[in-house]
Amino acid sequence: MNILYILLFNKKIYKMKMNSNIRIIISGIFAVILSSLSLSGQVNELKKSDMEKINTKEFPALPYAYDALEPYIDARTMEIHYDRHHRAYFNNFVNAIKGTELENTPIEQIFAEVSKASDAVRNNGGGFYNHVIFWNNLAKNGSKPSAELSAAIDKTFGSFEKFREIFSNAAKTRFGSGWAWLYLTPGKELAVGSTPNQDNPLMDVSPVKGTPLLTIDVWEHAYYLKYQNKRPDYVEAFWNVINWDTVNERYSEAMK
């Protein structure tokens, strides 16, 4: 029902000849209807503005061909990593939240209270989300950090070279499987850290907390076919295929 119509109709009530108590009751009913419609509109707008940035309803396509990052990341590793490992995380995550209150909850919101969720939600949700970030911050191009991000890197780490060293060390020294991150803290400061397994900085259980900007997957399935146990070689190769355009966009959005 159109809200303007309700307002006009409510105005007509007061022009009608009827008992004042009845008039108050009818007016009150329409006020409740009007309030409900207004609230409903606010909820819809909230949902619209807070929709998850990463779609959890369908498995996202890889943004390039399997061999696009050769020779730094080989096609066979890319195919297995994306089509088997990543797809499995997505399918398992969807099954873990199916039929629960989390099914239509933005994934970032799930992460904010993931300590209350099952291990299946935490591990598979993280595995799905982290890989989407990872694929999108890879590309074979000549992009570089924006002027704004470069200035922030210099301010925080002293220089890009120092940042690269710190980030690489975080990736190389992550014990077992996990991820290294460049992220923006809640205080809007850049920081580097790592997380175990499929955790990420958005999770309330994470040892580092903030908004992910750049990440590298250091699970063995990400590099073993080409680099075997030489994780440092894989980490150094990673710097040749960073899509800084995407990282710049994330930084700019996170700073708003």
Residue pLDDT, tens place only, 108-165:
999 999 999 999 999 999 999 999 999 999 998 879 999 999 999 999 999 999 999 9
Residue 21: band (very low, low, confident or very high) from pLDDT cuts 50, 70, 90 = low
Residue range(s) defining the domain that contains residue 96: 75-254
Across the chain, mean pLDDT equals 85
Distance (Å, rounded) from C-alpha 191 to C-alpha 182? 6
User: Would you say residue 10 has pLDDT above 60?
Assistant: no
133 with 250, same domain? yes
Distance (Å, rounded) from C-alpha 110 to C-alpha 56? 12
Residue 70 is assigned to a structural domain of this protein? no
Mean pLDDT, rounded, for 70-79: 98
Residue 59 is assigned to a structural domain of this protein? no
For the chain, the DSSP string reads --HHHHHHHHHHHTTS---HHHHHHHHHHHHHHHHHHHHHHHHHHHHHHT--SS-SSSPPPPSS-TTTTTTTS-HHHHHHIIIIIIHHHHHHHHHHHTTSTTTTS-HHHHHHTGGGS-HHHHHHHHHHHHHHHHHHTB-SS-----HHHHHHHHHHHSSHHHHHHHHHHHHHT--SSEEEEEEE-TTS-EEEEEEETT--TTSTT-SS-SEEEEEEE-SGGGTHHHHTT-HHHHHHHHTTSB-HHHHHHHHHHHT-
33 with 119, same domain? no
User: Would you say residue 74 has pLDDT above 90?
Assistant: yes
Mean pLDDT, rounded, for 88-95: 98
35 with 97, same domain? no
87 with 176, same domain? yes
Residue 58 is assigned to a structural domain of this protein? no
The pLDDT value given to residue 13: 45
Distance (Å, rounded) from C-alpha 95 to C-alpha 30? 43
Residue 20: band (very low, low, confident or very high) from pLDDT cuts 50, 70, 90 = low
Residue 104 is assigned to a structural domain of this protein? yes
Residue 68 is assigned to a structural domain of this protein? no
**Sheet holding 190-196: strands in order across?**
190-196, 178-184, 211-217
Residue 204: band (very low, low, confident or very high) from pLDDT cuts 50, 70, 90 = very high
The pLDDT value given to residue 17: 53
Query: Per-residue pLDDT tens for 177-202?
Result: 999 999 999 999 999 999 999 999 99
133 with 26, same domain? no
CATH for 160: 3.55.40.20
Residue 152 is assigned to a structural domain of this protein? yes
The pLDDT value given to residue 43: 29
Q: Which residues make beta-bridge pairs with 214?
A: 182
User: Would you say residue 241 has pLDDT above 60?
Assistant: yes
Residue 56: band (very low, low, confident or very high) from pLDDT cuts 50, 70, 90 = confident
User: Would you say residue 84 has pLDDT above 90?
Assistant: yes
The pLDDT value given to residue 19: 56
The pLDDT value given to residue 18: 52
Asked if 22 contacts 9 with a C-beta cutoff of 8 angstroms, the reply is no
Residue 240: band (very low, low, confident or very high) from pLDDT cuts 50, 70, 90 = very high
Residue 98 is assigned to a structural domain of this protein? yes
103 with 23, same domain? no
115 with 172, same domain? yes
Residue 94 is assigned to a structural domain of this protein? yes
117 with 177, same domain? yes
Distance (Å, rounded) from C-alpha 227 to C-alpha 136? 22
Higher model confidence: residue 130 or residue 41? 130
45 with 80, same domain? no
144 with 198, same domain? yes
The total number of structural domains that make up the chain:
2
The pLDDT value given to residue 188: 97
12 with 88, same domain? no
Residue 63: band (very low, low, confident or very high) from pLDDT cuts 50, 70, 90 = very high
165 with 91, same domain? yes
